[in-house]
Amino acid sequence: MLTADDHDSGARRLPSTGTLLDRRERPMRDLRISVTDRCNFRCVYCMPKSVFGRDYAFLDRNELLSFEEIERICRVAADHGVRKVRLTGGEPLLRRGIEDLISRLAALRTPEGAPLEIALTTNGSALTTKAASLKAAGLTRVTVSLDSLDDELFQSINDVRFPVSRVLAGIDAAHDAGLGPVKINMVVKRGVNDGEILEMATHFKDTPFTLRFIEYMDVGTTNGWSLEEVVPSAEIIERIDAVFPLEQATATVPGEVAKRWRYRDGGGEIGVISSVTNAFCGTCNRARISTEGKLFTCLFADEGHDLRALLRGGADDVQLAAAMASIWGARDDRYSEIRASLTPELRAARSRIEMSYIGG
């Protein structure tokens, strides 16, 4: 159980801004919050029906962090250096009243008086109805997950017969509502949807949308991950470059996880996120809050720190700030960098939390 002193002596900070640093000098900048563990999709590599079936015990409502609790955590995190909050899940648009949470977060300010960037990752299924209200509540932008344009394949991946046309309509609705630039994230799994890489690139080239290819990762333990299923980003770039010549673009934001590539003919850009073949732990500035309020300092962690117990145990903001400072200050994780040195047996023996619980 987490304990907190009522001061955070010992926490290292950037002298200029007071931003909290971990043991590897990485600032806490980006906070990802899972607002529900439920999803209306059953993507076979993320929430397979065999595990997340009818009898699966999702968290009770009172186990979830309330909007007030999330707002408090974000206020304190902003004081520690967080500049961007991403709402995720499960499917964040299933959380009732999500617009209320967004408007609370949009009202928060950094110590310099600036608003936070509020982003959301969604499967896009509810965007046609919700894009305008999300924008009105203060959402900055959305990222939509989309693994295929082929309706049959898309439905076999989401495993709930959800048609791709409705996600595409949701992407347009988000753009029209001003939630852009909308990013499209495609997780590539060899033998499943790697035949769709060029199709996706062609579809989103010369549009306002930025397509990003994500290497399939060994998160959680329900997806039976193996290295052979990963399509390295270098191969993806090679395949696209052979048809639409590309050139590398420079990073614009520190800690940016996607490597950006531009079409040489001016048709926009794509990104690749290589968490398996080119780990970016060295610049990882992300903290994650699980649906029930545990703070995780790595996507591949097996244990989180129970902030909800603190909040519900009557801790004030100073104590909450001290707890977050001591957790981040002790952070030393770099799982993706050491993954390659683990044998498959060691990797399998290591317990990891599910993506739907910690948030993607």
Instruction: Supply 327's token pair.
Output: 């957790």
Cα angle: 104, vertex 109, 113; to 5 degrees: 155
Contact between 308 and 293 (Cβ < 8 Å): yes
Minimum CB separation of residue 33 from ligand SAM in Å reads: 11
Residue 219 lies near ligand SAM (rule: CB under 6 A):
yes
Stretch that binds ligand SAM, among 39-47, 198-206, 250-258, 318-326 (CB under 6 A): 39-47
Q: 245, exposed or middle or buried, with CB in 10 Å at 0-12, 13-18, 19+? A: exposed
Measured CA to CA, the distance from residue 83 to residue 116 in angstroms comes to 5
Nearest residue to 246 via CA among 277, 267, 273, 275 = 267
Q: Is 336 in the site for ligand SAM (CB under 6 A)?
A: no
**What is the DSSP code (8-state) at residue 207?**
S
C-alpha dihedral, 65 to 69 to 71 to 73, nearest 10°: -100
Interface with ligand SAM (CB under 6 A), residue from 91, 99, 196, 333: 91
Among 217, 237, 287, 323, binds ligand SAM (CB under 6 A): 217
CB atoms within 10 A of CB 225: 21
- Told to check if 272 binds ligand SAM by CB under 6 A, we report no
Site for ligand SAM in 161-190 (CB under 6 A): 185, 187
Least distance in angstroms from the C-beta of 105 to ligand SAM: 17
**To the nearest whole angstrom, how small is the minimum distance from the Cβ of residue 178 to ligand SAM?**
20
**Which part of the chain contacts ligand SAM (CB under 6 A), choosing from 215-223, 229-237, 252-260, 324-332?**
215-223
- Residues paired with residue 109 on neighbouring β-strands, in sequence order: 115
154 binds ligand SAM (CB under 6 A): no
**Token code pair at residue 267:** 């048709």
Binding of ligand SAM at residue 22 (CB under 6 A)?
no
Q: Which stretch binds ligand SAM (CB under 6 A): 77-85, 214-222, 264-272, 329-337?
A: 214-222
Q: Per CB under 6 A, does 39 bind ligand SAM?
A: yes
Among 33, 77, 86, 123, binds ligand SAM (CB under 6 A): 123
Contact between 223 and ligand SAM by CB under 6 A: the answer reads yes
Q: Which of 3, 26, 1 is nearest to 322 (CA)?
A: 3
d(CA 319, CA 7): 7
Count the Cβ atoms, other than its own, within 10 Å of residue 226.
Answer: 12
Of residues 81 and 360, the one with the C-beta less far from ligand SAM: 360
Task: Name the site residues for ligand SAM (rule: CB under 6 A).
Answer: 39, 45-46, 88-89, 91, 121-123, 145, 185, 187, 214, 216-217, 219, 223, 355-356, 360
